[in-house]
Structure 1
Amino acid sequence: MKISYNQLKTLVDFDHNPHKLGEILTNTGLEVEGIEKVDAVKGGLEGLVVGHVVSCEKHLDADKLSVTKVDVGGESLLDIVCGAPNIAAGQKVIVALVGATLYPSSGEAFTIKKSKIRGAVSEGMLCAEDEIGLGQSHAGIMVLDTELPVGSPVAKYFNLEPDYLIEIGLTPNRADAASHLGVARDIKAVNNSAIRLPDVSNFALGTSSASIDLQVEDAEACPRFCGLEIKNIEVKESPEWLKRFLNTIGVNSINNIVDITNYVCHYLGQPMHIFDADAISGDKIIVKCPTSGTELTTLDGTSRKLSGTDLAICNADGPMAIAGVFGGLKSGVKPTTKNIFLEVAYFNPVSVRKTASKHGLKTDASFRYERGTDPNMPPFAIKFAANLIQELAGGDFCDKMFDIYPSPIQNFEIDLKIKNIDRLLGKALGEELILDILGKLDISLISKSEGQLKVSVPPYRVDVTREADVVEEILRIYGFENIELSEHLSSDFIAAFPEKDPETLKVKLSEALTAQGFNEIQSLSIVRPSDNQWLEQQDSVVKLLNPLSEELSEMRQSLLFSGLNALVYNVNRRNKDLKFFEFGRTYTKNTVDGQTKIKENKVLGVWMSGNIATESWMQKTSAVNYHHLFQVVSQILTLMKVKKIDTNETANQAFAYGLEHVVRNKVLVKFGLVNPTLAAQADLKQQAFYAEFDWDLLCKLYSSENKFVEIPKYPEVRRDLSLVLNKSVKFDQIKKAAFNTEKKLLKSINVFDVYQGEKLPEDQKSYSVSFILQDEEKTLNDQQIDKTMQKLMAVFESEVGAVIRK
């Protein structure tokens, strides 16, 4: 269900912002699923202010341009070039400041920039109505008649306050809250404020004689029916305030008459229907169930056969509408309609539910009727709607208003025991507080005796019919969070509480790496002093007090050296194609306040050397390279669901080159080509690649959650560019420049070919890069795609010195 924040304010007073209001409603049982800002016009006129034209002179180099100085409330006047013929000194105008984005009535949006026009500096723009989306006129700039000070937001002048759409996941039992009034009642109960219904005291019947008679034959299916005839109305476009309200809640504006019915339905929760009075044959309306097989063409143009149990609103010739569900095509309001008949009724929920289900129809009206509406609302709603019609469409009320209500629906009377309330709540609130909360919910006290209450519940609360229901009402207004947990609380449950078990994660990663041809190794934690010298933390080396030999006398600070020894051992035995991993520990010491502490760090090491695959007649093989290791690192991060990482080049001298992935300012993994000098020191005669993960940090970042996103509705588009670059330019520079330039449409970027050779200078290379573009709200057109690619090419040329190969 969709609710307008601004319209709620017309019904009840509250000071909460939309998000705080969302929390309050959720706590009362009306779960808010989303809150979205809705601008009255696109962009909300943000960055547009009231300005005063202090001076206006003709441009020296252009007859049709003027150079103005405009006061917008800043420290200095703005120089603005304007081409409007009606510009003059002394005017108050609309000024789009530098940085403001304009959304014109037609064409693409554009952003205002400081520029030079024919040599004259222009620091903004003076706007016509079509340039800011407020109309179609481009005859000249808009001149304002206002006392607002300069610098005031233009949105304030036009009274274009933004609205907020509050989407509520309405549970089936809360039929009473299927409207702005229903939601306002809960706010009233929590805030202890009053409901402010529209004033209908000025409603008065007219003098024109009513020509239409009304008869209700099935009072069980239609307990109450109100009707009013109005003559000489004018069907036309709705005013802006009404269109804005309907737009906020996602309802299309049709015309002033139809829009009023939608407004009343969503505002008060009371569906209503309006008939073209001249299409009511026999000047008679009969509420009955037509004979089985009777046909009715509904507003959607579909011919439907009614059963003998479908309640319909009929005239002398047959049905005009399916009661509480859908109107008929012939009797609906048309642009030429002059006389109308308003129908506001209370229908039996069971009858409407059966009919709507039988015909497969789900409308705003049936949604409310089949759950149960307020039987006391029709007289008020018809007066409210009639006043709106007279205000927006003119017309004359006839001298008779029908209200057929032979068997009034009574309030529910419920007996309550204080001890049962305390037991179900888990807390004794006291009789005074209980009665106070019930009063805020329009539940009145009939009588009370010792330990017992008898209360009256209004019939619009169709879900409150038992003692337990009343207790639930008390609880949701008092607040679930205000019920303290018992010291002796216990419960039985079957639930899964996934934990980050490092051993389980080890098994998970081990299986994944083994599946890719890796073997797990276990190595000594003792290394040579010459190994640790490759690392920067010399003062944190942990030395053995009683080493077995001079060579093995220190604890390792990295798994790298132990793994290199394993590689050498295998290569010397003609086993050259190697992939290893190890879960191990490294050791460092810290001295704080004179005390030395040794820290044990858990690490995952990954080594690759030789060929990527064993040589075979079925496939050619190739030597392991840096990109193979990069792919393994990426797969591990994906498996552990790690995102939002920063990447830097590593300065670690143990690597000839490589990268570091950083999360929260901590190095998660460092990887690259092992320094050839270090490899030679270990007596390894082939290249080796190594990655080292901080295992504790990796486990901490792991998430067992599976997040799903909806498959995009609109297609993606691929565009390719060939960039000639200096060899020093990294792909990461290109990627960052691209995503900084286009954050909305650009989804991914990839290099699919690299060329270096005789056709290019020695210090240059060529990248073939693909770009995937997609708009999640609409299908991209060629103009948008070309505009985006032009922006990207300009950035590549200016920021990374690229030459675009055409």
Structure 2
Amino acid sequence: MKISYNWLKQFLKTDWEPAKTGELLTDLGLEVEGIEVKESIKGSLKGVVVGEVLTCVQHPNADRLKITTVNLGLDLPVQIVCGAPNVAAGQKVPVATIGTTLYDAKGDGFKIKKGKIRGEESHGMICAEDELGLGSGHDGILVLDASLKPGTPVADVFEIETDAVFEIGLTPNRSDAMSHFGVARDLRAGFLQNDVTLELISPSVSNFHVDERTLRIDVEVEDKEAAPRYCGITITDVTVKDSPEWIQNRLKAIGLTPKNNIVDITNYVLHELGQPLHAFDAQKIKGNKVLVKTLPEGTKFTTLDEVERTLSDEDIMICDEDSNPLCIAGVFGGLESGVSDTTTSIFLESAYFNPVSVRKTAKRHGLNTDASFRFERGIDINMTEYALKRAALLIEEYAGGKMGSDISDFYPEKIEDFQVFLSYESAYRLIGQEIPKETIKNILASLEIKINSETEGGLGLTIPSYRTDVQREADIIEEILRVYGYNNIQFSHKLNTSISFESDKSVKIENVIADQLSALGFNETMANSLTKPSYISLSENLNEEANVTMLNPLSNDLKVMRQSMLFSGLESVSYNINRKNTSLKFYEFGKTYHKFNNTYEEVKHLTLFISGNRANESWSLSNKTADFFYLKGIVTNLLGRLGIENVKTTPSKNDVFSEGITFSLGKIKLVEFGVLASSVLKEFGVKQEVLFADFSWDTLLKLTTKKNIKVSDLPKFPVVRRDLALLIDSDVAFKEIYNLAFQTEKKLLKEVDLFDVYEGEKLPEGKKSYAVSFLIQDETKTLAEKQIDKIMQKLQQSFEKNLNAVLR
């Protein structure tokens, strides 16, 4: 939020330097993130002075140029070539001297240099008003008052304003400080604590009166909970034109572009007092009545940005008597009812709308306006009428308006100020230091918190309506502490703390696996659990009815909880690949979220992503791309580290894989892994192969915690490996070879593994080639070659007999 120091000084007459004031604001909890110097005209017209044209003659080499001599208040006049048609001797004109930098409408600067124009020297530039940023005119040079003295800085003539603008990182609870008056109110309390007594000057509305009751527009509110207070007044005989320069300067300083006097005044009062206002063209309100109501679902409405929006039946709308929508209450005005150059009478609105209703509407339509920003956080309901009078008086002064009606004020149930009791003992305990009671009372008074009663033990307090965040005793103590100053609290150099350790086996197991993956070159990621609803269309295994949907999503891209960790992980993969980081190894521990009828379920997973080379490029390592079997080895090792062996292998039925398998124990699925389908990768703009593994972590933890890992001595006798390349039918699965091998040799066969699959043109139709390894070991002696050959022959015969396998 931007706060103008010059604007603050309208409420507090302080001479503190901006940097010092910024430090005080930060100490008060209004953290100043930066201070920027703003000029009403960029460059502040430095180097531009008043010049007197002494002579003006025709340029000998150009019909449209004149040669002038100009008195700049120096010892000698200077020669300047000028192309303006209205330049003449005797004029007082603005002159940009050599070395001056002027700025165009885009803010781009150009420096005035000594030069020759058509052979004649020119020592400066006589300026038009648009060249100085003083207006848009470029028909000729700007002619100044004849009484001005040559050499006078033009900045003094036009009162160029320089301002310091504070960028305040406002926390959402501090709705009371969402205006210059609110910040000034807080700043005064800080000054008092620093023994600086300043009067808080509030804008006067004592001159408000109704001129003539010629245009009455009634107000009718259908839902008093959505709009607890609604004020309005008509103002006639207005003239829409540019705002006065001082209002434009205030708005420009905080980054707003002036439009016209009516709109600028509503924006000015918004940022001055924190109360949003809206001006309607009264002639466009049919029936002389304003209705605050909802409209049927699907109603179309075009807002000021010329976007047609589809309304919800929960959106609070401002309508005319025929229920034609004029404005989305508290959020955005309508295109057809706004103030235009031809407007001669207005209906001015000042209201308090329900913060929850405004927030839902703003998020639903993707709108974030200055008005909705304040309504969502809660404004001061007692500021409504005062701000309306303030704006009406400014419109009367700067648009020539007349009050055309009394103020309509719908406020059926007055909201009472909140009552809180403050215990001195609680304050001392939470602050950690005893603050004098008189100091506490002075701080509360500076914050306009009224003391209703006082006892030996504490104070009965009334909280002003604008402090919507102060509802508890702890909130009062926080207010006292921030004004007293956190830096003024003494602390001991001795630090006491208690440390407790809770043994959580699941955390230990997670750390073991994380360490193993990190040692293998993986990086841990943490993705957002909120994701796009459209991702479920990428897999038939995901169901839209199982989506856990946010009631108030931040955006459409963060509308549902993820049903799969795949897509949020692929966002990270895509992000890295797009930034030329193409060799990736990621792992993530996280949860997926599912809705089943009226119940909700969270499931924890461990996911792996691998893409590109197995290791980073190095002179000592050749680039080797990670493949399916590389991922399989990592998955197998992780399961082995958890003490899970002898898993069942089956093809994965998940359509996100082009090639994938599942490891299970009985009917319990442990992990799915494989190569992701190109159709899925295409959605994320990924063109290289990505390997993915999804562990059911909750299941693995249950199995691991119930399983005692056995430790045995290393075998004394060697393991022998033999390989077979088998030509088999395409419908034969590896698990059939696996099971048949152990049925054939139950005693000495230790492991069977598939390390290559080939299906190509050189093989007979309906056939594929499996390369299978067998580990054979006798734990009591060294195996003889004849014994090994006998086992392999027996395995080969079994495969040939039962699977029609052929040795290649």
**TM-score scaled to structure 1, two decimals?**
0.56
* Structure 1 residues 386 and 108: alpha-carbon distance in aligned structure 2, compared to 1, 3 A threshold: closer
Structure 1 residue 449 displacement after superposition? 1.0
Structure 1 residue 87 displacement after superposition? 6.2
The reply to whether residue 363 of structure 1 matches residue 364 of structure 2 is no
Worse overlay, 455-464 or 4-13: 4-13
Distance 1:107 1:412 in 2: 50
Distance 1:122 1:308 in 2: 69
Structure 1 residue 183 displacement after superposition? 1.3
Q: Is the 8 A contact 1:230 1:396 kept in 2?
A: yes
Q: Residues 94-114 of structure 1, C-alpha deviation per residue, up to 9 Å, x if partnerless? A: 232321112356997432234
Q: Which residues of 2 match residues 234-245 of structure 1 at below 5 A?
A: 234-245=239-250
Distance 2:145 2:470 in 1: 55
Structure 1 residue 368 displacement after superposition? 0.5
* Residue of structure 2 in register with 1:353 after alignment: 359
Distance 1:477 1:490 in 2: 27
For 1:352, give the aligned amino acid. Answer: V
For 1:353, give the aligned amino acid. Answer: R
1:392 pairs with one of 398, 412, 417 = 398
Structure 1 residue 34 displacement after superposition? 2.4
* Residue of structure 2 in register with 1:625 after alignment: none
For 1:397, give the aligned amino acid. Answer: M
Worse overlay, 12-21 or 177-186: 12-21
For 2:69, give the aligned amino acid. Answer: T
* Residue of structure 2 in register with 1:103 after alignment: 103
2:217 pairs with one of 212, 216, 225 = 212
The reply to whether residue 5 of structure 1 matches residue 5 of structure 2 is yes
Q: Which residues of 2 match residues 726-745 of structure 1 at below 5 A?
A: none
The reply to whether residue 176 of structure 1 matches residue 176 of structure 2 is yes
Distance 1:122 1:168 in 2: 47
Q: Secondary structure in 1 aligned to 2:8?
A: helix
Distance 1:193 1:90 in 2: 50
* Structure 1 residues 283 and 69: alpha-carbon distance in aligned structure 2, compared to 1, 3 A threshold: closer
Q: Secondary structure in 2 aligned to 1:44?
A: coil
2:258 pairs with one of 253, 258, 278 = 253
2:231 pairs with one of 226, 234, 246 = 226
Q: Secondary structure in 2 aligned to 1:253?
A: coil
Worse overlay, 466-475 or 284-293: 284-293
The reply to whether residue 462 of structure 1 matches residue 468 of structure 2 is yes
Distance 2:499 2:111 in 1: 58
Distance 1:350 1:140 in 2: 55
Q: Residues 532-589 of structure 1, C-alpha deviation per residue, up to 9 Å, x if partnerless? A: xxxxxxxxxxxxxxxxxxxxxxxxxxxxxxxxxxxxxxxxxxxxxxxxxxxxxxxxxx
Distance 2:118 2:314 in 1: 78
* Residue of structure 2 in register with 1:39 after alignment: 39
The reply to whether residue 153 of structure 1 matches residue 156 of structure 2 is no
Structure 1 residue 264 displacement after superposition? 1.6
Q: Which residues of 2 match residues 394-433 of structure 1 at below 5 A?
A: 394-433=400-439
* Residue of structure 2 in register with 1:781 after alignment: none
* Residue of structure 1 in register with 2:600 after alignment: none
* Structure 1 residues 302 and 473: alpha-carbon distance in aligned structure 2, compared to 1, 3 A threshold: same
Q: Secondary structure in 2 aligned to 1:42?
A: coil
Q: Secondary structure in 2 aligned to 1:484?
A: coil
Q: Is the 8 A contact 1:79 1:121 kept in 2?
A: no
* Structure 1 residues 69 and 280: alpha-carbon distance in aligned structure 2, compared to 1, 3 A threshold: closer
* Residue of structure 2 in register with 1:580 after alignment: none
Q: Residues 418-458 of structure 1, C-alpha deviation per residue, up to 9 Å, x if partnerless? A: 22222222222211111111111111211111131111111
Q: Is the 8 A contact 2:81 2:121 kept in 1?
A: no
Distance 2:339 2:430 in 1: 52
Q: Which residues of 2 match residues 59-70 of structure 1 at below 5 A?
A: 65-66=66-67, 68=69, 70=71
Q: Residues 642-700 of structure 1, C-alpha deviation per residue, up to 9 Å, x if partnerless? A: xxxxxxxxxxxxxxxxxxxxxxxxxxxxxxxxxxxxxxxxxxxxxxxxxxxxxxxxxxx
Q: Is the 8 A contact 1:295 1:304 kept in 2?
A: yes
* Residue of structure 2 in register with 1:282 after alignment: 287
Structure 1 residue 120 displacement after superposition? 7.5
Distance 2:27 2:38 in 1: 24
Q: Residues 20-56 of structure 1, C-alpha deviation per residue, up to 9 Å, x if partnerless? A: 3222212211112222222222322122233456x54
For 2:14, give the aligned amino acid. Answer: F
1:326 pairs with one of 321, 329, 332 = 332
Structure 1 residue 350 displacement after superposition? 2.2
Worse overlay, 186-195 or 238-247: 238-247
The reply to whether residue 265 of structure 1 matches residue 265 of structure 2 is no
* Structure 1 residues 401 and 489: alpha-carbon distance in aligned structure 2, compared to 1, 3 A threshold: same
Q: Residues 594-626 of structure 1, C-alpha deviation per residue, up to 9 Å, x if partnerless? A: xxxxxxxxxxxxxxxxxxx99xxxxxxxxxxxx
Q: Residues 363-399 of structure 1, C-alpha deviation per residue, up to 9 Å, x if partnerless? A: 2111101110011111111111111222232232123
Distance 1:214 1:370 in 2: 23
* Residue of structure 1 in register with 2:648 after alignment: none
Structure 1 runs not aligned, ≥5 long: 495-612, 615-806
Tell me how many residue pairs correspond in the alignment. 493
Q: Residues 129-183 of structure 1, C-alpha deviation per residue, up to 9 Å, x if partnerless? A: 3432334555654443277765443212111112333221111111111111111
Structure 1 residue 343 displacement after superposition? 1.0
Q: Which residues of 2 match residues 550-569 of structure 1 at below 5 A?
A: none
Q: Is the 8 A contact 2:304 2:335 kept in 1?
A: yes
Structure 1 residue 241 displacement after superposition? 3.0
The reply to whether residue 164 of structure 1 matches residue 169 of structure 2 is no
* Residue of structure 1 in register with 2:775 after alignment: none
Q: Which residues of 2 match residues 709-748 of structure 1 at below 5 A?
A: none
What root-mean-square deviation, in Å, do the aligned CA atoms of Structure 1 and Structure 2 show? Answer: 3.2
Worse overlay, 143-152 or 203-212: 143-152
Structure 1 residue 485 displacement after superposition? 2.1
For 2:5, give the aligned amino acid. Answer: Y
Q: Is the 8 A contact 2:51 2:70 kept in 1?
A: no
Structure 1 residue 121 displacement after superposition? 6.6
* Structure 1 residues 51 and 367: alpha-carbon distance in aligned structure 2, compared to 1, 3 A threshold: same
Structure 1 residue 257 displacement after superposition? 1.9
Q: Is the 8 A contact 1:176 1:182 kept in 2?
A: yes
**TM-score scaled to structure 2, two decimals?**
0.56
Distance 2:93 2:270 in 1: 40
For 2:437, give the aligned amino acid. Answer: E
Structure 1 residue 335 displacement after superposition? 3.0
* Structure 1 residues 116 and 435: alpha-carbon distance in aligned structure 2, compared to 1, 3 A threshold: same
Q: Is the 8 A contact 1:292 1:308 kept in 2?
A: yes
Distance 2:106 2:293 in 1: 51
* Structure 1 residues 134 and 469: alpha-carbon distance in aligned structure 2, compared to 1, 3 A threshold: same
Distance 1:445 1:60 in 2: 80
Q: Is the 8 A contact 1:210 1:400 kept in 2?
A: no
Distance 2:239 2:92 in 1: 37
Distance 1:328 1:61 in 2: 59
The reply to whether residue 113 of structure 1 matches residue 113 of structure 2 is yes
Q: Residues 232-266 of structure 1, C-alpha deviation per residue, up to 9 Å, x if partnerless? A: 32233333333333332222333322222222212
Q: Is the 8 A contact 2:113 2:124 kept in 1?
A: yes
Structure 1 residue 90 displacement after superposition? 6.6
* Residue of structure 1 in register with 2:687 after alignment: none
Structure 2 runs not aligned, ≥5 long: 192-196, 501-617, 620-808
Structure 1 residue 118 displacement after superposition? 8.2
Distance 1:471 1:219 in 2: 34
Q: Secondary structure in 1 aligned to 2:405?
A: strand
Structure 1 residue 195 displacement after superposition? 2.2
* Structure 1 residues 207 and 139: alpha-carbon distance in aligned structure 2, compared to 1, 3 A threshold: closer
Structure 1 residue 91 displacement after superposition? 5.4
Structure 1 residue 69 displacement after superposition? 5.7
Q: Secondary structure in 2 aligned to 1:110?
A: strand
* Structure 1 residues 430 and 213: alpha-carbon distance in aligned structure 2, compared to 1, 3 A threshold: same
2:442 pairs with one of 436, 444, 463 = 436
Q: Is the 8 A contact 1:81 1:117 kept in 2?
A: no
For 2:359, give the aligned amino acid. Answer: R
